[in-house]
Amino acid sequence: MAESIKAPRGVRDILPDESWKWAYVLTMARKVAEDFGYQEVHLPIFEQTELFCRGIGDTTDVVEKEMYTFEDRGNRSLTLRPEATASMVRAYLEHGMNKDARQPAKLWCAGPMFRYERPQKGRYRQFWQLDFEAIGVQDPLVDVEIIHLSLELYRRLGMTNLEVVINSVGCPACRPKYREALQNFLEPLLPDLCETCQGRYDRNPLRILDCKRPECKEKTEGAPSIFDSLCEECREHFDTVRQGLETIGARYTLDKRLVRGLDYYTKTAYEVLSGDLGAQNAVCGGGRYDHLAEAIGGPFVPGVGFAAGVERIVLTMEQQGCSLGEPPRVDVTVIPLDPSLRVEAMGLLASLRKAGIAASMDYAGKTMKSQLKVASQEGIRGVCILGGDEAAQGVGGVKNLRTGEQENVPLREIPSYLAKMLRE
Beta strand 253-254 with 162-168 is parallel
Residue 286 Cβ vs ligand HAM, minimum distance, rounded to whole Å? 4
Buried residues in 246-275 as b, exposed as e (16+ CB within 10 A) = eeeebebeebeebbbbbbbbbbbbbbbbbe
Q: How many CB atoms lie within 10 A of CB 33?
A: 21
Task: Give CA–CA dist 81/91, Å, rounded.
Answer: 14
Name the phi and psi angles at 170, rounded to 5.
Answer: 75, -170
Strand partners, 113: 127
Q: How many CB atoms lie within 10 A of CB 232?
A: 9
* Contacts of 195 by beta carbon, 8 Å cutoff, 6+ apart: none
Instruction: Please say whether the beta carbons of 293 and 93 come within 8 A.
Output: yes
Return residues touching ligand HAM (CB under 6 A). 83-85, 115, 117, 122-124, 127, 129, 131, 133, 261-262, 282-287, 289, 305-309, 311-312
Residue 197 Cβ vs ligand HAM, minimum distance, rounded to whole Å? 20
Q: Which is nearer to ligand HAM, 9 or 412 (CB)?
A: 9
Residue 97 Cβ vs ligand HAM, minimum distance, rounded to whole Å? 16
Residue type, 274: S
Q: Which is nearer to ligand HAM, 95 or 121 (CB)?
A: 121
Residue 213 Cβ vs ligand HAM, minimum distance, rounded to whole Å? 18
From the list 83, 88, 136, the residue with the least C-alpha distance to 112 is: 83
Instruction: Please say whether the beta carbons of 419 and 357 come within 8 A.
Output: yes
Q: Which is nearer to ligand HAM, 311 or 362 (CB)?
A: 311
Residue 356 Cβ vs ligand HAM, minimum distance, rounded to whole Å? 37
- Tell me how far apart the terminal alpha carbons of the chain are, to the nearest angstrom: 54
Name the phi and psi angles at 270, rounded to 5.
Answer: -150, 160
Q: Which is nearer to ligand HAM, 130 or 384 (CB)?
A: 130
Q: Which is nearer to ligand HAM, 23 or 282 (CB)?
A: 282
Q: Which is nearer to ligand HAM, 119 or 347 (CB)?
A: 119
CA distances, 216 to each of 169, 206, 351, 360 (Å): 20, 13, 67, 60
Residue nearest to ligand HAM (CB): 309
Q: Which is nearer to ligand HAM, 316 or 333 (CB)?
A: 316
Q: Which is nearer to ligand HAM, 303 or 415 (CB)?
A: 303
Residue 39 Cβ vs ligand HAM, minimum distance, rounded to whole Å? 16
Residue 360 Cβ vs ligand HAM, minimum distance, rounded to whole Å? 35
Neighbour order of strands in the sheet with 303-309? 39-40, 105-114, 126-135, 303-309, 282-288, 266-274, 162-168, 253-254
Q: Which is nearer to ligand HAM, 178 or 264 (CB)?
A: 264
Residue 109 Cβ vs ligand HAM, minimum distance, rounded to whole Å? 11
Residue 113 Cβ vs ligand HAM, minimum distance, rounded to whole Å? 7
Residue 33 Cβ vs ligand HAM, minimum distance, rounded to whole Å? 14
CA distances, 174 to each of 3, 296, 368 (Å): 58, 22, 76
Residue type, 374: V
Q: Which is nearer to ligand HAM, 301 or 361 (CB)?
A: 301
